[in-house]
Amino acid sequence: MSNCTTVTEFLLLGFSDGLELQILHLSSFLIIYLAALIANLLVIMLIVFDSHLHTPMYFFLLNLSILDIGSISVTVPKCMANSILNTRLISYSGCVIQVFFFFFFITADLTILTIMAYDRYIAICKPLHYATVMNRRACLQMAATAWSAALLYSALHTGNTFRLPFCHSNIINQFFCEVPQLLRISGSEVFTSEIQILIFSACLCLGCIVFIFVSYIQIFISVLRIPSEQGRHKAISTCLPHIIVVSLLGSTGVIAYVKPTSGSPSALDLILSVLYSVIPPMMNPIIYSMRNKDIKAALWKLIRWKWFILMKMSVFLQ
């Protein structure tokens, strides 16, 4: 280790060097990022300004939208900037910051999704206890616990990763600083503790997914007891999309962090990383918010209000 040269920057290989593929990747990421940004900002604005949405469910949706904006903003803008500037570099400190905030937002995101599943379970399966269990204080405590636990976990994970020396290489076969790739290029053979943390993280992630699945199965069973076709349709339309997006986030994340990393850029690694880091922030507002009748009502109210203001301004200017 005495011959180890201190790494000051990393090289993100990520996507192809071909101009056509670079343009395709840049345009795709730009569309996804803008869609996620606009959709989540719209959800935040509707929940904040519409008093009818000041309920526990929409409070957690507000948290989820904030986290989604954060998680996609950690990786995608840097990747797009590198494509525009025709560079692959990221500084050592930039990589540390990216890993820290990525883990923070992803962990808090999954925790909030778990809390939201619990909230829906109480609301549908135990409606008489809902006001008592999901009171204002309990909601604030659960949200604060989710954010605090994510902060602590992210600090532990980041510190444990970057205490390792990077001597063999500074080439990361990803479009952002992903921990399995950082472990692969580490010059240290002793990273057992980080591997243990990754396995522990995968178990926690699977635990959250199982909890969410069990909650939605209970919801599905309860709603199916309603003796009508409308009840069955509501059960499927409520539970199935949520289970799909949680499965996508959890399964691809676990596979990406548990499977052995390759020594050369792999299409599978890139696809997995896009599926768990880029797609969910764009899908969550659609799955959890835009299909909701209260959000739709608030959106139409905002559109009518804006139209009314514009009409008044046009009359005044004439």
CA 105 – CA 107 distance, rounded (Å): 6
Alpha helices in 259-292 (DSSP H): 267-277, 279-285
Q: What is the pLDDT of residue 188?
A: 57
- Across the beta sheet with 9-12, what order do the strands follow? 89-91, 9-12, 171-172
Domain that includes residue 63, residue range = 9-295
| Burial (0-12, 13-18, 19+ Cβ within 10 Å), 300 | exposed
CATH of residue 281's domain is 1.20.1070.10
309 occurs within a structural domain: no
* Average pLDDT score over residue span 273-281: 87
CB 252 within 8 A of CB 206: no
* Average pLDDT score over residue span 195-200: 71
Q: Which residue from 158, 181, 168, 157 is spatially nearest to 12, judged by alpha carbons? A: 181
306 occurs within a structural domain: no
Q: What is the pLDDT of residue 74?
A: 94
- pTM tops 0.85: yes
237 occurs within a structural domain: yes
Q: What is the pLDDT of residue 138?
A: 94
CA 25 – CA 227 distance, rounded (Å): 49
Statement: residue 231 has pLDDT above 70: no
Statement: residue 234 has pLDDT above 70: no
Statement: residue 314 has pLDDT above 90: no
Longest alpha-carbon distance in the chain: 78
302 occurs within a structural domain: no
Residues 6+ apart with CB under 8 A from 129: 122
122 occurs within a structural domain: yes
CA 49 – CA 8 distance, rounded (Å): 45
Q: With left for phi above 0 and alpha for psi between -120 and 50, is residue 14 left, alpha or beta?
A: left
Tokens linked to 123: 């609301």
Residues 6+ apart with CB under 8 A from 45: 302
* Average pLDDT score over residue span 136-159: 92
Neighbours of 238 (CB within 10 A): 18
CB 178 within 8 A of CB 261: no
Res. 96 pLDDT band, cuts 50 70 90: very high
Domain tally, the chain: 1
114 occurs within a structural domain: yes
Q: What is the pLDDT of residue 59?
A: 94
Statement: residue 41 has pLDDT above 90: yes
Q: What is the pLDDT of residue 65?
A: 93
Residue of 310 and 30 predicted with greater confidence: 30
Res. 213 pLDDT band, cuts 50 70 90: confident
Q: What is the pLDDT of residues 218-228, one digit of tens each?
A: 888 887 777 77
301 occurs within a structural domain: no
Q: What is the pLDDT of residue 105?
A: 95
